[in-house]
Chain A
Amino acid sequence: MKRIERILKVISLISILLMVTSCAKNNDVTPEFQETNLAPLSVEFDNIVGERTLSINNTGSPYKNLAGEAFTISRLQYFISNIKVTTAEGNTYTVNPDSSYFLIKGDDKATRFAKVKVPEGDYTNLTFTLGVDSLRSTMPIDKRTGVLDPAAGGGHEDGGMYWGWNSGYIFFKFEGNSNVISDDVNGDPTGKKQFKYHIGFFGGYSAPTLNNIKVINVDLRTAGIAKVRKDRQSNIHLFVDVMKVFNGTNAFKIADKPNVMFDDFTAKIAANFLQMFKHDHTEN
């Protein structure tokens, strides 16, 4: 028995030692903040609809908004840009704008990550823009490459996000169907019962106009700070609840406003964007 006790003692001692050393690995020291010491960080935009996951054209089990209107979603696309992170000590890093534009597409899971490089550190705050800032919206044609290429995605009637006649980008494109939509000019005269929300407007090229650019600020302290290290892939997992388009502060009925593109109501919908983003957790 004594022998067994001794063995147990040794084992427990070893395991305690092991635990301590492994703990030490986890509780690594926060690296010194250096702008050049870059490591990978991703922000995941996980699209949801209220209490449910996003499913495109799920006519079998449509979603329902606060007003009780049943609807399905055929397209969801939006621009995320100007990613910025801040540490508890207040060190801030803004990702180079040339590598900070992302088009998130609801029907293409591969696009849900905004992958950037930021200095090693522990980040308590994430800031990004929903939309394309005015500087990028007015830049010369050579700079408009990748997701900002006006030719990308076909025309604005399809997956394209560029508006030709009113030079600028659609920040948020949300389309779908609902039987509450009338077949007349106030609804969808083609009879397809389609709703279209194309929200843009960056504030005007030469004179100030409507500005629907929204800066989203996410406090990471509650659901998990991002520990960015070179040997890891820290991932800030956000839920993006598009139900908030209908149910946010400026709640509205699809039947009343099935098409919103070029009018002042875009500002009401854009205000709802601020409530769409919820930090669920961080994978470090």
Chain B
Amino acid sequence: MSMNKKHWIVLFAFGLFIYACKKDHPVKEEIESWLGFVKPVNFPDPEYKFANNPITKEGFELGRALFYEPRLSRNNTITCGSCHIQSSAFTQHGHDVSHGIDDRLGTRNSPPIMNLAWNKAFMWGGGVYDLDLQPIVPITTHEEMDENLENVLNKLRALPKYTGLFKNAFGSEEISTAKFMKALSQFMLMCVSSNSKYDKVMRKEAGMSFTADEQEGYTLFKQKCASCHSEPLFTDGSFRNNGLGISPINDQGLYAATLKETDKYKFKVPSLRNLQYTAPFMHDGRFLSLAGVLEHYHSEVQDTPNLDPVLKQGNRIGIALTQNDKVKLTAFLATLNDTDFINNKLLSEQ
């Protein structure tokens, strides 16, 4: 009996010890760094069906490992992160078109991995409408990773690192297409950019307000840009022909996927967030700077088939922008840059 009493005392002491440990730093840090997917208060409800793929810390960590895994490419040289670099808001800064395996060049500009939970369609020219199916495209494209999915899964199955990570994330060591895709989605869904100055002003965070130039730019933006680049994602997710001159390779955009005449030369409306880090611009990266883009809308829009009606109002083609408009718009667009996003350690290669 006295032994039993002693046991209880020891157990109680252990309990106290564990309790004290829990209060300590590591746990606190972990809670701070892992909040899961949080919808920013100034954002609408996401499009992605989270019920089919609930985000967990372990699933996200597996997805992150896969995102930075060169075995996704034929000769184990290219990762998703090669063309989607965090410091460039997950684009391939400085490359007009993506630069993939064996120094091959694609035909389109690498788009940002950003706020994908709110995307209905993927790729500049559409064709993919489910984030869980998107990674197949770069993995199998000749100029990107030039690999097939079966080989990728077999390479991963041979590595204890991955059987372990899959077990952590999904409860078993089995590596299937669905689990692989879902893990990648979990990482990509966590790439949320919502901490720009604009967001803080909109959320009325303490002391945050636009300068006079930014405010004027915001007003101009709402008049001249917001019909396609709608807030707060700065894209309405639609496909439109914005009057770019037809490229030498005659990239017909959405038409290639739908074969509908009315889709010729339509490309997905990109977000205007993080422009500071994501030049060059447009589906083929033809404009090196924002100034080039603004000039396009002001004076270079061409009346090609299916030109968007908003760029063809009255007798004018394009959007009239004075020099002053351009300065103010540029000031406003700079408030959409999100340094937290490009520096978020959680999203970096570990």
- Closest-CB distance, A270 to chain B (whole angstroms): 13
The segment out of A42-50, A163-171, A275-283 that lies at the interface is A163-171
- Report yes or no: B150 in contact with A154, Cβ–Cβ below 8 A: yes
Cα A221 to Cα B43 with chains together (Å):
61
Q: A160 contacts which chain B residues (CB < 8 A)?
A: 148, 150
Known: A206-B121, A207-B258, A209-B258. A167 touches B127 (CB 8 A): yes
Q: A209 contacts which chain B residues (CB < 8 A)?
A: 257-260
Known: A142-B52, A144-B177, A207-B258. A167 touches B133 (CB 8 A): yes
- Closest-CB distance, A141 to chain B (whole angstroms): 4
Cα A149 to Cα B150 with chains together (Å):
10
- Report yes or no: A206 in contact with B120, Cβ–Cβ below 8 A: yes
- Report yes or no: A158 in contact with B133, Cβ–Cβ below 8 A: no
- Closest-CB distance, B250 to chain A (whole angstroms): 14
The range of chain A's interface size is 20 to 34
Cα A156 to Cα B128 with chains together (Å):
16
Q: A262 contacts which chain B residues (CB < 8 A)?
A: 256, 259
Q: Does B340 contact A (CB under 8 A)?
A: no
Q: Does B346 contact A (CB under 8 A)?
A: no
CB-CB contacts of B130-174 with A at 8 A, as 1s and 0s?
101100110111000001111111000000000000000000000
Q: Does B182 contact A (CB under 8 A)?
A: yes
Residue of B nearest to A152 (CB): B150
- Closest-CB distance, B47 to chain A (whole angstroms): 11
- Closest-CB distance, A201 to chain B (whole angstroms): 8
Q: Which of B123, B139, B258 has the most CB of A within 10 A?
A: B258
Q: A151 contacts which chain B residues (CB < 8 A)?
A: 148-150, 152-153, 177
For the complex, count residues of B whose C-beta is within 8 A of A: 33
- Report yes or no: A166 in contact with B257, Cβ–Cβ below 8 A: yes
- Report yes or no: B127 in contact with A165, Cβ–Cβ below 8 A: yes
- Report yes or no: B141 in contact with A165, Cβ–Cβ below 8 A: yes
Q: Does A224 contact B (CB under 8 A)?
A: no
Residue of B nearest to A158 (CB): B148
- Closest-CB distance, B88 to chain A (whole angstroms): 23
Q: Does A263 contact B (CB under 8 A)?
A: yes
- Report yes or no: A165 in contact with B128, Cβ–Cβ below 8 A: yes
Known: A144-B178, A164-B136. A153 touches B150 (CB 8 A): yes
- Report yes or no: B150 in contact with A142, Cβ–Cβ below 8 A: no
- Report yes or no: B128 in contact with A141, Cβ–Cβ below 8 A: no
CB-CB contacts of A259-282 with B at 8 A, as 1s and 0s?
000111000000000000000000
- Report yes or no: A141 in contact with B259, Cβ–Cβ below 8 A: no
CB-CB contacts of A184-203 with B at 8 A, as 1s and 0s?
00000000000000000100
| 6 A-B pairs with C-beta separation under 8 A | A142-B178, A144-B177, A150-B149, A153-B150, A207-B258, A264-B259
Which are the 10 A-B pairs with shortest beta-carbon distances?
A: A155-B148, A164-B136, A151-B149, A205-B129, A166-B127, A141-B132, A164-B137, A209-B258, A141-B178, A151-B177
11 more A-B residue pairs beyond the given contacts A138-B130, A209-B257, A263-B259, with a C-beta to C-beta distance below 8 A: A140-B52, A141-B130, A144-B178, A150-B177, A154-B151, A155-B147, A164-B137, A166-B127, A166-B257, A210-B258, A262-B256
